[in-house]
Structures are given as C-alpha cells and as structure tokens.
Structure 1
Amino acid sequence: MTDTKPVQRDAYAMILDAIDLGVYRPGDRLVENELAERFGVSRTPVREALQRLETQSLLMRDGRSLIVASLDHNQLAELYVVRTELEGLAARLAARHAAAEEVRVLRQMVAEDHERLGDPAALNRANRRFHKQIHLASHNRYLVQQLDLVHRSMALLANTSLAIEGRGADALVEHERIVAAIEAGDGDAAYAALAEHISKAFETRLKHDSANDPRL
C-alpha cells in the first residue's frame, strides 16, 4: 500500500531561506499567520520556528512583534573575525583532505560563475555554494556545523558585497587563488587566500556602507 501522507515542510528552514534570499530583510516584521499561509503549513510549526530563530538572535522583539534582526558595526566586525578564522581553517583542512573530485568541482564552480557576473543575486547564491563546498572538503563535521551557524548570521546582512561594482570579478579571481592553493595541497596558502578573500569582502562592505550612510 502506497503511503500518501503529505511531506512535512520545515517551517524553520523555509523562513531562514526567505531571510537569506532577502524576501524578509532586517527590520521586517514576521507575522505568524501570514507566514503559515505563505508557506502552506500550520501555525504551530511556524510559532516554534520563530521561537528558535529568536533564540539564535536572528529575530528580535519590537514591542510585541518579532522583526528580522540587524547587525550593528561592532557585531558585523565580530562576525567577520570569526568567519575569517573558521573559513581559513576550512581551506587549510581542505588542502590536506580534499579528494581530487572535490577540487574539480570547485574549479568547475569558479569557471561557471564567470557567466553570472551580470547577475548579483545568482552570483551570491553561487558564492554560498562555493564556500559550502570548501567547508565540506575540510572533512571536519564539527567545523562545518560552526560555519553553518556563522553563515546563518550572514543572512542578516541587508545586501551582498558582490552587488557592488567590480567586486564580483575580483571575488572570482580570489576564488581561483583559493582553489589553486587547495589543489596544491598548500594549507598555509589556502588559509591566507581565504582570509584575504573575506577581508576584501569586509572592506568592500565597509566602504559601501560608509558612502551610503544617510547620516553623513
């Protein structure tokens, strides 16, 4: 007999994806019944998902409402420090442990991403996949778990630095250096290339935010 039970949809994952994709941006209010209707689930899993996201500081209270949290300058700097160290470690371990097939996948990703340079949203999604592939190539499950938490917090950034003119092409050059170091089995070079890549992204974001600050 065929099981016709409907597939349970993960409300937490769907809300998190919506934040990550910019459907809900920092400051946006999340309403339980509206989310339930949007994602086609009951209100109970939505309520539980919202509580979980609040516990993880991805949502914050604004009176009685829950809104998507935002990162101030200090939080942003702290996040990039942690991200640099953890991503650098992932690249170092990938240089030691990545299989030849994993390196080929990374190379293919970089080659294909050149075709996405005119589409910042697509390039941003591809960039996340590229970094995730490096995490997995580290072959360290505990590091992957910690990096998942860091990238969850990255979803709170209102925009991607890859949308800033010239940054996309520069990022792909940096990706090529990272892959070359991993392929060469040079852990120190892989760490340095990845750390420089994150530093350049942070610097680009800071300059853009400063230039577009309405208070200045």
Structure 2
Amino acid sequence: MTEAKSAQKDAYSLLLEAIDLGEFKPGDRLVESDLAERFGVSRTPIREALQRLETQQLLTRDGRSLIVASLDHNQLAELYVVRAELEGLAARLAAKHATEEEVRVLRDMVEEDRALVDDPEALARANRRFHRQLHLASHNRFLVQQLNLVHQSMALMATTSLAVEGRSETALAEHDAIVSAIEAHDEEAAQAALKDHISKAFVTRLKLDAAGAEG
C-alpha cells in the first residue's frame, strides 16, 4: 500500500513537473502507456495521476483522450487577478516576517539572474524559483498552498512572457524593487511593487497572445 501511494505521488509529481517545465504543452495528448514507459512506472499510478490532474483542470478531455489544458482570455484574466492579490499579500508578509537569510537569498537570486537575460527559458525557470522563495518568506503556509495552485495553472501557458524583447531586463528591475522593499521592511511598498510586477507581466502576456493570434 505504501509503495502504491509512493508510486502515485511520484507519477503525479513527474507529470506536474513536465507540464511546469513545458515538456508537455497545452494541446499535447497524454497516453498512459507512453507515460508509464517514459517515467518507468506502471500504468496504474499514471492513470491515478492523470485523474488527479484532470480534477485540478490541468488536463481536459478531447474525445476519449486527455490533453494538457489551455487558458482562454477570460481564464487568463481571472488567473492574473488572483495572482496579483495573493502574491501582493505574500510580498507584504515577507516584508514583515522574512529573516535576514531569506532576504539575502532573494537578493542573490536577483543578482545571479542578471546573467540569464539572453536565455528566456532559463530565466523563466529562475523566475519561478524566485517567486516560490518569496512565497516561503511570507511565513504563511495557507497562502503558500494557494499560490502553489495558482502557479500550477500558470504552467498552462505555452510560452513565457520573458521571451518578449526587453521584458527580461524590466522583469529583473521589478524583482530588484520588490526585494529592496522587503529589505526595508516596507510592507506597503513591497505589496505595491509585486502587484505592479504582475500587472506588467499580464500586459506583456496579452501582447504576446495578440501577436500569436495575428500570426
């Protein structure tokens, strides 16, 4: 029983990570037998993991097949509204509760990520790491849980907004402003800087999607 639960957890985590990293993109069909072979587990934990991901709306039905879900315009807008509010709260709480060591880690991430401005995919991974670290610095487990769900849904975007010309540099400048506010223990400034960061990311995302529609 324990092994079965472990296998189910591993299969779910592996699938979730693959979606998060863009190895499976919106519209991709997921086949039990192929996934079992890819991840080296039996089909039962794969099937249970697929059902769990479908329940979380990360997968959807296309006839009898399961495919990676995609976000329409309204879903995207709703997601960014929730993300801005929750992440803004996380930044506010981080300004109040983060330890010196946690703030140093955030500062180091900003500095290290400057070397990735010409690699959007690598910077996107670093961006996710930065935001997760900021969530943890809020010291509120319930908020972290909700943000994990939000960021799972963010994985349903086929491309990163950081691929837009000039966005990498401005996003890092926004991260710098967020960390500066947290360093100063300025709760209002941290919240405002984070919400501004999400707003600008949303604008970039809308432009990116509009360009894709024109193409």
How is 1:117-156 mapped onto 2 (pairs within 5 angstroms)? 117-156=117-156
Distance in 1 of aligned mates of 2:132 and 2:55: 24
TM-score by length of 2: 0.95
How is 1:91-170 mapped onto 2 (pairs within 5 angstroms)? 91-170=91-170
Structure 2's unaligned 5+ residue stretches are 1-5
Q: Pick the structure with more helix per residue.
A: 2
The secondary structure found in structure 2 opposite 1:37 is: helix
Partner of 1:3: none
Percent pairwise identity = 73
Distance in 1 of aligned mates of 2:134 and 2:212: 33
Q: Deviations over 1:62-92 (max 9, x none)?
A: 1000000000000000000000000000000
Q: Deviations over 1:89-146 (max 9, x none)?
A: 0000000000001001000000000001111111011000100011000000000000
Distance in 1 of aligned mates of 2:185 and 2:83: 22
How is 1:1-216 mapped onto 2 (pairs within 5 angstroms)? 8=7, 10-214=10-214
The secondary structure found in structure 2 opposite 1:175 is: helix
Structure 1's unaligned 5+ residue stretches are 1-6
Runs of 4+, deviation exceeding 2 Å: none
Distance in 1 of aligned mates of 2:73 and 2:102: 36
Instruction: Please tell me the residue identity of whatever aligns with 1:52.
Output: R
Distance in 2 of aligned mates of 1:86 and 1:71: 19
Instruction: Tell me the C-alpha RMSD between the 2 structures.
Output: 1.1
Distance in 2 of aligned mates of 1:121 and 1:205: 15
Comparing 8-17 with 63-72, greater Cα deviation is found at 8-17
TM-score by length of 1: 0.95
CA positional deviation for 1:151: 0.2
